[in-house]
Structure 1
Amino acid sequence: MLNKLFPSRFSLLKTFIVIFLTLSFAVRLILFAWSFSEADTSVFNLIYTFLLGFLFDIGTVSFFAFPYALYLLVMPSRFHGSILDKVVTYFGYSLGLIIFLFSFFAEITFWEEFKRRFNFIAVDYLIYTNEVVKNINESYPIPLLVGIILIAYVILLFVTKKRGSFSNTFKSTTPFKSKIFPTLIIGGIMAFFWVFVQNQDSEQFSNRYNNELSKTGIYSFFAAFRNNELPYVKFYKTIDENKAFTILKNKLKSEKEQFIHPDKHEILRTVTNSDSLKTPIKPNVVFICIESLSGKFLNSLGSSLNITPNIDSLANNGLFFNNLFATGTRTVRGMEAITLSISPTPGRSIVKRKNNQGLMTIGEVFRKEGYNRTFFYGGDGYFDNMNTYFGGNGFDIVDRGRGFLLDASITTKRTNIEDDEVTFENAWGVCDEDIYNKVIKEADKTYQDGKPFFDFVMTTSNHRPYTYPEGKVAIPSGTGREGAVQYTDYAIGEFLNKAKSKPWFNNTIFVIMADHCASSAGRWELDVQNYHIPAIVYNPNLIAPQNIDKLCSQIDIFPTVFGLLNWDYTSNFFGKDILKMKAEDERALIGNYRKLGLLKNNKLMVLNEQKESDFYQWNKDDNSLNKIQNDTNFLDETISYYQVADYLYRNDGLKIKE
């Protein structure tokens, strides 16, 4: 049977398939050993994990094998071993080996960062090659890795020749009929996987690590490439649209908020915060979005690392939200939640989608109050479509880019961070101290013009390769995440010390919050604790210190800030004023690009893209999730948040309405 499946003309193809299966098994074994303490190691689940992985490996290699099998089928016997045959064969075989070796090494580095097989993040990284290549070059010994890949390639090529796979292929006289069967088998496997098998079919376990281990990295990459946008109604559980809007409006309504068109499929409403006792105020607002600042790093949230003294001091002297959760696992997801105050939509963040300009963002509220609005980023804002998104929604841009905004229709001003303003720079941009110095410089200019300003500042230093100016903190640059966190904290302290000397400081509110946690990986499909982030509103003259332990979300921060400023405004936001939030309204929305969750009362409902849902009891002490009996009302509420958000985006319901 084996000779029929792999006749002599298919000898090299058989070797190619065996090498792939062997290498893929080795990578899976390495990742399993790496995650041994987190994975489910019961005998049955372990065997099932590797068996599923083997099946996905077979499906994956069929996509690579079929083009060559088709070539072997149509190439007449008289041309076997010809110069053309040898050139095509050596080139195809070498290219395949290099792709496999590179992808396997890349998988290991990707797992180190995200504890996942390739996903939509890897797809995005393929687009933004400049930042990613620089990051890899600064994080890993590239010459050594390339050398290892080349050595491995030479060894495999040598072994293949010693086995006689090339000579058997070139000297073969296998007739056309004998080549039909293996070609059909390989093509049939490929077609079956293309039509019937989805990447998530490997997710047969309650343990997330086993689900990831059962996948094949290359297959996961192309699955993410095909499915980076997921229309909610096509992939997720839905309810009647009228019911979804009714449920959500009941969650959003309050005495201070009135829907403008209560009978329409929209959530546009007026929010009233002022009265005879609360006069609106217009301080400057500086929002600092900190890269990857997990709550677990702060002593004020239970850590004993002692690496965030400045942020901990701000938490003790400001309005500190200690039970707040990020909506997602990436910077653009945090930006979406903060600026639009919206539930996370499945697939790509709205920041990176089409039709994402002219939206009712928090910037529009500031515009109507007469504020200058500026987005600051230490790298090139082309990355992750940030400049197009912020520029298309009325923000001026300050970044390290060299080009123009991508969309010619965007008319906002762009200012470059010049070389003489940079003291340190890595793959992701200038260090935090440099971006803060630029913020101060631009704030001085705006203050002189007599206009209030709203600045959205995105930091970069707390990101691999974790490099920063030497001699600033105790932990040496480039040694790991904790050093980057310590430097991030140091830079904030320096920024505020400099700002205190400015005439605009006393009339400026500083809002500090993470974009997401340093890691979202865990054994659960949504690892709740890995969404816990800090948020602080600080001004010693305007904000009284207070610890707020209400369960809340990133989307709630700016509705809360607008409440503190006593502003009346028009809102399209899903977020609520945390300080006015009733106990029954406390909730957090968490998700990744596929899983969507609602957390309330230590219970978590999770929706997935197979129109399924799971209901869990979250144990805060050990961060475990235990399945419980479904709650229909809870499920409908969860669906309403996400179904309505998707509906509004796709039907221009997030656009500014004058």
Structure 2
Amino acid sequence: MIKEKIYKYIYLMIISLTILTLLRLILFVSYESDFSSLTTMEVIYSFLTGIRVDIVSITTSIGILVLLLFAPFKFTDNKLFLKVIYYSWFFVFSIICFIIIADIIYFQYVHRHMGNEVLAMNKDDNLLIIDMIIEYKYIMLSYLIAMYIVFKLFSNIINKEFPTQSLGYAKRFGIFLLVLIFIVANIRGKLTGKPFSIADAFVINKIASGNLALNGFYTFYRTISKKQKLYKFYPYKEALSTTKGLLKSNKFKFIDDKYPLQRQYIQKEKVKKHNVVIILLESWSSKYIDSFGNNNLKVTPNFDYLSKNGISFPNFYANGQRSIEGITAIYTGIPVLTEFHSLGKGLELSNLSYIGNIAKANNYSTIAMQSSKGSSFRVGEISKIAGFDEYYGAEDMPLLGDEDKNKKPKFGTWDGNMFKFLNFKLKTMKEPFLSFAFTATTHAPFVSPGQRWEPYPHDKINIFGFLNTLNYSDDMLGEFMESAKKEPWFDNTIFILTADHTIGFGNDKNMFKNTNIKIENRDLENQRIPLVIYAPKILKPKIIKKIGSQVDIIPTIIDLLSWNASIGTLSNSLFDDSSNGFVLFSNSQYFGMVDNSGYVTHNLKNKLESTSNENIEKKALSIYQVSSKLLRANILYKEMK
């Protein structure tokens, strides 16, 4: 019976994959303009990646059935049992096809695949699946006819006689183990590393490629774990008006009512071809940096020098509390608010104004790297989606520093190795260039690179360990800047240094006896991070007290360089005196907003805290309501041609 089971599994899988490929072809033909940016080879690559997505989708759905099919027990050879398994496969597959067909219909409204937002649809929503089924009854009828044909194909295979072979229990058990490994590998999409994800489907650095490779069933179940709700705090027009008021600026103008938050930069000067180097510093919190926290910790002398001789922003905040949220904010200008998805978790399904793509549209070379391994946070795949043509992780970087050879950082390589590699790669980049580099050594647990960087008693899990690794990372930053000053590209370069998020205070007040650090007001202070823009040959040193956050970096760069660009961000330039400075931040339980009047935190049901006498709650809820609606409908941003 084993041979028969193998034959039938192969035939049924071929039928299933063929049907899903045909559905992908229907998507391609139906929305040809959405995929017009793809070359013939890119279309082929996308279809091949789509087969991989389909294998993961099918195996995830029927994996348990296949394991039961090959279970090493005699009852699994019973004909009735086998028919139940095979026809259950058909039943599950018909559901997959139904969801994909509904997704193809859905695609015309949002020009991306469905995610878990469909769970939040209500009867008033124009995109409700049940309404589409009624409206597209002929398509549903075609689906039923097609499924009948597929049923017949399945039945022919199920009832067909194949060569049989009886095996002993030991061999059957061995085959079962092999099948188990095979199923797990197919569900993961790969044997090693992190499982295949939505971001992995973007094999070509184009949104169209990912949309062609993915299917609606896969994107739905991959995002289903975090159910989103539709929130309507105010009438939509009122909420939109409030949101536009927050984003109003003399430097950007709204350009399209269909994409109500998309804005075009108002160029008043020619494009400036300055290089841009963005350095994202792991867990660097304002309170631990003397030039920002005034706490006399003496572990960041190099950063303090850059702050003194650059433009510093003391009222700058992280939009989230995780690294991927900081990366998402910088790459897209969109904060990962409560119940929102980050890049790598579904946000990339929407059309976004990525920083790398904007740079390339202005004839910039692009490169990204991180001290962590390439698979960490899927930054490699995400960076490609965001428009970075080159990407490097820890595995690409040689060990060149003086760190303790008997120790190894928990995540990737030492920051010193990355900074040396960054300097080496920038020498080879065509100017002007945009680079992004993300450090890692200051991530817990705090592995010390050596005693020379330990001004405090070292501990891997408390704040002293962090301060020691912070001292090391600052030293490596200083070495990088000194090396960069010797390069011909330095004088024409703007360095942007900030953090991904903060690190906590700890609860031991004795640690802070000789500092100004206070444990009070954690909600706000746990978001405050440094920002320094350093360009000694281009920008004069000063302090800008405007409130800002990571999402402001895209419009700030556009403003500094006078790029020709349109954006769909929830932010403005930090150099824009005409706009309102505000910050949106969140953790998994609540989100908040900061502006000049104070701050508010909210759990989407109730206001939690507020220090503002103004109606900051309305501003926060309005921009949340509008941005979530526009992201869900994929009308936050449209690429300009």
Same fold (TM over 0.5): yes
User: In the alignment, what sits opposite 1:617?
Assistant: 611
User: In the alignment, what sits opposite 1:417?
Assistant: 397
Distance in 1 between the 2:628 and 2:447 partners?
38
Distance in 2 between the 1:528 and 1:284 partners?
33
Q: Is the 8 A contact 2:247 2:572 kept in 1?
A: yes
Q: Which moved more, 1:562-571 or 1:479-488?
A: 562-571
Give the one of 238, 245, 253 matched to 1:250: 245
Distance in 1 between the 2:223 and 2:265 partners?
41
Give the one of 600, 623, 634 matched to 1:652: 634
AA partner of residue 485 (structure 1): L
Q: Is the 8 A contact 1:318 1:539 kept in 2?
A: yes
Once the two structures are superposed, the pairs formed by residues 431-470 of structure 1 within 5 Å of their partners are: 431-446=414-429, 450-470=430-450
AA partner of residue 242 (structure 2): I
AA partner of residue 272 (structure 1): I
AA partner of residue 633 (structure 2): N
- Confirm whether residue 322 of structure 1 aligns to residue 289 of structure 2: no
Q: Find the residue that maps to 2:425 and give its secondary structure.
A: helix
Change (3 A) 1:303 1:228: farther
Once the two structures are superposed, the pairs formed by residues 118-133 of structure 1 within 5 Å of their partners are: none
Deviations 1:401-434, CA, capped at 9 Å, x for gaps: 66xxxxxxxxxxxxx3356799674221111110
User: In the alignment, what sits opposite 1:569?
Assistant: 565
User: In the alignment, what sits opposite 2:622?
Assistant: 640
Distance in 1 between the 2:229 and 2:327 partners?
20
State the Cα distance separating 1:534 from its structure 2 match: 0.6
Deviations 1:257-281, CA, capped at 9 Å, x for gaps: 22111x3353111111424xxx321
Give the one of 470, 474, 483 matched to 1:498: 483
Q: Find the residue that maps to 1:426 and give its secondary structure.
A: coil
Distance in 1 between the 2:521 and 2:377 partners?
25
User: In the alignment, what sits opposite 2:323?
Assistant: 331
User: In the alignment, what sits opposite 1:557?
Assistant: 553
- Confirm whether residue 426 of structure 1 aligns to residue 409 of structure 2: yes
Distance in 2 between the 1:367 and 1:521 partners?
43
Give the one of 341, 366, 370 matched to 1:373: 366
State the Cα distance separating 1:352 from its structure 2 match: 2.8
Give the one of 445, 453, 460 matched to 1:473: 453
Q: Is the 8 A contact 2:258 2:635 kept in 1?
A: no
Give the one of 261, 264, 270 matched to 1:267: 261
Aligned residues between the structures: 404
User: In the alignment, what sits opposite 2:470?
Assistant: 485
Change (3 A) 1:524 1:478: closer
Deviations 1:159-186, CA, capped at 9 Å, x for gaps: xxxxxxxxxxxxxxxxxxxxxxxxxxxx
State the Cα distance separating 1:561 from its structure 2 match: 2.6
Deviations 1:578-637, CA, capped at 9 Å, x for gaps: 22234x82222221123111112353222214x22234227xxxxxxxxx7xx6x43221
User: In the alignment, what sits opposite 1:607?
Assistant: 602
State the Cα distance separating 1:324 from its structure 2 match: 0.8
AA partner of residue 526 (structure 2): N
Q: Is the 8 A contact 1:131 1:427 kept in 2?
A: no
State the Cα distance separating 1:395 from its structure 2 match: 1.4
Q: Is the 8 A contact 2:249 2:572 kept in 1?
A: no
State the Cα distance separating 1:331 from its structure 2 match: 0.6
Give the one of 565, 587, 600 matched to 1:592: 587
Structure 1's consecutive aligned runs of 4 or more residues displaced over 6 angstroms after TM superposition are 419-424, 520-526
Q: Is the 8 A contact 1:329 1:520 kept in 2?
A: no
Q: Which moved more, 1:353-362 or 1:431-440?
A: 353-362
Give the one of 231, 235, 238 matched to 2:228: 231
Distance in 1 between the 2:505 and 2:550 partners?
16
Once the two structures are superposed, the pairs formed by residues 512-591 of structure 1 within 5 Å of their partners are: 512-519=497-504, 527-582=523-578, 585-591=580-586
Deviations 1:326-375, CA, capped at 9 Å, x for gaps: 11111111112112112332236421322506631121221111112122
AA partner of residue 650 (structure 1): R
Q: Is the 8 A contact 1:282 1:565 kept in 2?
A: yes
Distance in 2 between the 1:561 and 1:400 partners?
25
User: In the alignment, what sits opposite 1:354?
Assistant: 346
Q: Is the 8 A contact 1:231 1:346 kept in 2?
A: no
Distance in 1 between the 2:346 and 2:424 partners?
33
State the Cα distance separating 1:499 from its structure 2 match: 0.8
Distance in 2 between the 1:574 and 1:382 partners?
28
Q: Is the 8 A contact 1:272 1:567 kept in 2?
A: no
Distance in 1 between the 2:370 and 2:331 partners?
15
Q: Is the 8 A contact 1:360 1:654 kept in 2?
A: no
Deviations 1:121-167, CA, capped at 9 Å, x for gaps: xxxxxx9xx999xxxxxxxxxxxxxxxxxxxxxxxxxxxxxxxxxxx
Q: Is the 8 A contact 1:432 1:460 kept in 2?
A: yes
State the Cα distance separating 1:496 from its structure 2 match: 0.2
State the Cα distance separating 1:237 from its structure 2 match: 5.7
AA partner of residue 443 (structure 1): L
User: In the alignment, what sits opposite 2:281?
Assistant: 290
Change (3 A) 1:332 1:422: farther
AA partner of residue 561 (structure 1): I
Change (3 A) 1:285 1:265: closer
AA partner of residue 280 (structure 2): C
AA partner of residue 384 (structure 1): F
Q: Is the 8 A contact 1:325 1:554 kept in 2?
A: yes
Q: Is the 8 A contact 1:232 1:346 kept in 2?
A: no
Q: Is the 8 A contact 1:588 1:599 kept in 2?
A: yes
Distance in 2 between the 1:314 and 1:436 partners?
16
AA partner of residue 231 (structure 1): Q
State the Cα distance separating 1:481 from its structure 2 match: 0.8
Once the two structures are superposed, the pairs formed by residues 12-23 of structure 1 within 5 Å of their partners are: none
Q: Find the residue that maps to 1:491 and give its secondary structure.
A: helix
State the Cα distance separating 1:478 from its structure 2 match: 5.6
Change (3 A) 1:502 1:443: same
For structure 2, which runs of at least 5 residues remain unmatched after alignment? 1-187, 195-221, 508-518
Give the one of 379, 383, 395 matched to 1:386: 379
State the Cα distance separating 1:544 from its structure 2 match: 0.5
State the Cα distance separating 1:239 from its structure 2 match: 2.1
- Confirm whether residue 313 of structure 1 aligns to residue 313 of structure 2: no
Change (3 A) 1:574 1:355: closer
- Confirm whether residue 300 of structure 1 aligns to residue 291 of structure 2: yes
Distance in 2 between the 1:650 and 1:331 partners?
23
Change (3 A) 1:533 1:232: farther
Distance in 1 between the 2:573 and 2:325 partners?
21
Q: Find the residue that maps to 1:376 and give its secondary structure.
A: strand
Distance in 2 between the 1:226 and 1:579 partners?
37
User: In the alignment, what sits opposite 2:18?
Assistant: none
State the Cα distance separating 1:397 from its structure 2 match: 4.4
Q: CA RMSD in A?
A: 3.1
Deviations 1:298-318, CA, capped at 9 Å, x for gaps: 111221111111111111000
Q: Which moved more, 1:523-532 or 1:564-573?
A: 523-532
Once the two structures are superposed, the pairs formed by residues 63-102 of structure 1 within 5 Å of their partners are: none
Change (3 A) 1:355 1:548: closer
State the Cα distance separating 1:562 from its structure 2 match: 2.1
Distance in 1 between the 2:281 and 2:591 partners?
23
Change (3 A) 1:601 1:242: same
Percent identical among aligned pairs is: 27
AA partner of residue 421 (structure 2): K
